[in-house]
Structure 1
Amino acid sequence: MENAMARLLHVPCDEIEFTDANALPLFLRGAYHLKVLRIADTSFLLAEPKEKVNLTHMRMHRKKLMELTGMECAFQLATISAYARQKMLEEGIPYVLEGKELYLPFLGMVLNSRKREKAPPARISYLTQKMLLVVIYRGIADASVTEMAKILEVSKMSVTRCFDELEAFWPGMIEDNGKAGRRFQWSKTKRELWETVRPQLRNPVEKEFLLDCTPPWPLPKSGLTAISHFSMLADNSYETFAIAKQALKDLQPEKLPQVPHGEIPAAVIQVMGYNYLHEGDNVLVIDPLSAVLSLNQEEMGDPRIEGAVEEIMEEFVYDRT
């Protein structure tokens, strides 16, 4: 398929194994052969029906596949009726008619000029943010998709999407070596990397629970409590803890006694968009840079907290020369 696509488009095309199939519902796994194509630095899912699928089901399946994988989805078809072709063109449903015709509207201007910069996504994903923090802590200067997937303990497809984001936000951070694959590369200091990416990094806190009790489970320190752990700053009169949003359904912190906003809580639980514990610490605590990113504007305006953040930067980011 990749050779046929390359001939039709006159641009390089690489076929990548889709490794996340087991995470999809059975009805999707049973209906399609799935793979990933990369054309002109854009990756998308290619779904080949195992048996004949009507247009109504294809509409629904494409929407579900895009929702679950975070990628655009096109159908690989051996034949297509005149009616189905017309409807797919009208509705913007991408398809590839093997060796003959293709309709991939989501590629847009990418194919007109490979040198044109891709528009970055609205905001960086949590996994890409976590990857950048890992790179800073470990001083990673060069890593392939496979190497980064092992470090993060995620699929290569997840890392491929992270590389797509890095390429869109910071052209030059990802080196494309053709058939050898893409690599993250950074030749400057950790401090320069932090200062480069900092404007796009997100506050990982999605929600807070102000409790009238202490949490009944062992949770990692977060927020100012974590900042205090990594610096000389005195903590608030209450402790702040983190909980990964994936754990909300099991632990249900919303059922714990809570205080109204404006009152001093006994403890605070912050719901985090990603889970990243500080490595090599005998205390359960989130990583220091995520703790810094979790601070709000009011907290960052406090000179005491500002000094504590500078301590953390000196310890974990700034190069000692």
Structure 2
Amino acid sequence: MSTLQNFEDYLQKVLDIGVKASSWKEEKDLPIFLRDLYDFYEISLLGISCLLMIAKEDVVISPATVNKHFKYLQEKRTCLCIYVCRVVSSYDRLRLINYRVPFVVPNNQMYLPDLCLDLREHFRKIRKSRKILSPATQMVVIYALIHKNDQKFIPSELAKKLGYSAMTMTRALDELESIGIGEVFQKGRERFLHLMKDRRALWEQVKPFIRSPIKKNMMLRCKDTKKIKQLGVISGLTALSNYSMLNPPKRPVYAISKDDWKILKHSASIEKVFFPEDADIELEIWSYKPKLFVNKGMVDPFSLYLSLQGNKDERVEVALEKFMEQIKW
């Protein structure tokens, strides 16, 4: 049964109102992107002329995008516009209500504030938002910040570039959408994230949800630093000193992924030590791969900032802020 038929049956069941929808003749005059996302029908509901914008079967649209399209149509039409979709998560339902977008999810809810109707039945718990983004999702954010000319991010392509499965990248897009970062669309089997904001705005918006990539710090004595330089990337205060007037630390700092550490720790040329004065280098074990975003032999600027933002040394704080001001957004 189509979404339209479910909508008509739902009205009959809960309001005892029989409605018959008809195709909207002016649909052909709408922009193509709207016609690709919705089917449009006219109905009369409780004596009021209404325009239905029914999400197509193979399309998923974020509440923020629905709100933009709703406002666009309201400006073009004097009648009440109603968004109709087959399923909606409890989180997206609240977002639609906050936007005051009239909507109907057949057999779940009818929210029509202009008609003083708010009928709720049950909801499917689809996805849960997180307060802190997962390492994989943080990698997507860093990738988006670095590749500032890209606007559309597809899970299958991100998987190849970042070394994760397409399923993990799909979850990453869900996480970003759950905190209002960008908009996720679906066309057929393909899902993609579209970032509408500029990169500076993206950075400021996402900062509360991301954290230092460092999982562990350790001091190492090295007979030969060749292996470390091969697997690791210059990081920490060593990297910051290259970008600022800050003096470099006594021991160079390198970042390495968990997987590369598993290889390095079996090397006979290194030895873990407990006292800094006995060490030749400081090693950071990261939750994601620093080599993916290497910049002139050093870690990317955004991960560097996150790794040092907790440093209480005033000189480091000043150097870090000046460093971020130099970024070309």
Match of 1:260 in 2: 274
Q: CA deviation at 1:270?
A: 0.9
In the other structure, the counterpart of 1:136 is 145
Q: What RMSD, in angstroms, separates the aligned Cα atoms of the two structures?
A: 3.6
- What amino acid is aligned across from residue 203 of structure 1 in structure 2? S
2:213 aligned partner: 204
Q: Does 1:188 align with 2:197?
A: yes
The alpha-carbon deviation at position 158 of structure 1 amounts to 2.3
C-alpha distance in 2, partners of 1:126/1:249?
Answer: 18
Task: State which of 289, 310, 316 in structure 1 corresponds to 2:321.
Answer: 310
Query: How far apart, in 2, do the equivalents of 1:280 and 1:200 lie?
Result: 23
Matched with 1:30 is: none
Q: What's 2:109 paired with?
A: none
Task: Name the SS of the counterpart of 1:294 in structure 2.
Answer: helix
Give the deviation of 1:148 after TM superposition.
Answer: 3.1
Distance, in Å, in 1 between the alignment partners of 2:317 and 2:291 is 22
1:119 aligned to which of 115, 128, 131: 128
Residue number in structure 2 paired with 1:162: 172
Q: Which residue of 1 aligns with 2:258?
A: 245
Listed as ranges, the gaps of 5+ residues in structure 2 are 11-54, 59-86, 91-120
What TM-score comes out, normalization by structure 2 length?
Answer: 0.55
Answering whether residue 286 of structure 2 is matched by residue 272 of structure 1, we say yes
1:71-124 per-position Cα deviation (integer Å, ceiling 9, x unaligned): xxxxxxxxxxxxxxxxxxxxxxxxxxxxxxxxxxxxxxxx9347x894313532
Looking at structure 1, the residues matched to 275 and 122 of structure 2 have their Cα atoms a distance apart, in angstroms, of 53
Q: Which amino acid aligns with 2:156?
A: T
For residues 202-260 of structure 1, give each alpha carbon's deviation from its aligned partner in whole angstroms, at most 9, with x where no partner exists: 21111111124464522311111122223332211111111211022221179733443
Q: Is the 8 A contact 1:12 1:40 kept in 2?
A: no
Rg comparison, structure with higher value:
2
**Cα distance between partner residues in 2 of 1:278 and 1:180:** 28
Aligned mates of 1:146, 1:234 — CA distance in 2: 43
Instruction: Rate the CA distance shift 1:280–1:265 in 2: closer, same or farther, 3 A.
Output: closer
Residues 182, 197 of structure 2: 8 Å contact kept: no
1:236-291 CA-to-partner distances (Å, cap 9, x unmatched) read 1111111211022221179733443565743111111111337574x422212111
Task: Determine if contact 1:130/1:276 at 8 Å carries over to the other structure.
Answer: no
Contact 1:230 1:288 in 2 (8 A): no
Q: Does structure 1 conserve the Cα–Cα contact (< 8 Å) formed by 2:256 and 2:290?
A: no
Q: Is the 8 A contact 2:309 2:317 kept in 1?
A: no
The size of the alignment, in residue pairs, is 214
- Could you state the TM-score of these two structures normalised by the residue count of structure 1? 0.56
Query: Is residue 290 of structure 1 aligned with residue 303 of structure 2?
Result: yes
Corresponding residue of 1:220: 233
SS in 1 for 2:308: coil
1:227-242 correspondence runs (5 A): 227-242=240-255
> Does structure 2 retain, via aligned residues, the 8 Å contact 1:176–1:183?
yes
Check whether the contact 2:257–2:290 (CA below 8 A) recurs between aligned residues: no
Secondary structure, counterpart of 1:229 in structure 2? helix
- Conserved in 1, the CA contact under 8 Å of 2:182 and 2:196? no
Check conservation: 1:209, 1:254, Cα contact below 8 A: no
